[in-house]
Amino acid sequence: MKKLFWYLLLIFVVLVMLTLILVVDKKVDNKDEVTQDQTKEKLSLLNNIDKKIDYFHYNYLDRYLDYQKKYSYLSDIDIVTRVNLGLDQPFYQNTKPSNELNKITILVNKYTYLPEDYVPNNLIKISDHFSSSTRELVYEAKESFEKMATQAKKEGYTIRVVSAYRSYYYQKGLYDNYASRDGIDIADTYSARPGYSEHQTGLVIDIDNGKLDFNHFEETEEFTWMENNAHLYGFILRYPKDKEEITGYDYEAWHYRYVGKEIAKSIKESNLTFDEYYVRYLEN
Catalytic option among 227, 252, 269, 283? 252
User: How far are the Cα atoms of 103, 125, 258, 275, 276 from residue 106, in angstroms, in the given order?
Assistant: 6, 21, 10, 10, 13
Q: To which H or E segment does residue 268 belong? A: helix 261-270
Q: Is 33 a catalytic residue?
A: no
What topology is assigned to 96-282 in CATH? Muramoyl-pentapeptide Carboxypeptidase; domain 2 (3.30.1380)
Instruction: Please report, as a single letter, which amino acid is at residue 1.
Output: M
pLDDT tens string 87-112: 999 999 999 999 899 999 999 999 99
Mean pLDDT by 10 residues, the chain (284 residues): 58 63 48 63 87 94 95 95 97 94 97 98 96 96 98 98 98 97 96 98 97 96 98 98 96 98 98 97 88
**Is the Cβ–Cβ distance between 135 and 125 less than 8 Å?**
yes
Q: What pTM was computed for the model?
A: 0.85
User: How far are the Cα atoms of 130, 197, 233, 237, 241 from residue 112, in angstroms, in the given order?
Assistant: 31, 10, 26, 19, 22
Half-sphere exposure of 35 (CA within 13 A, CB side): 8
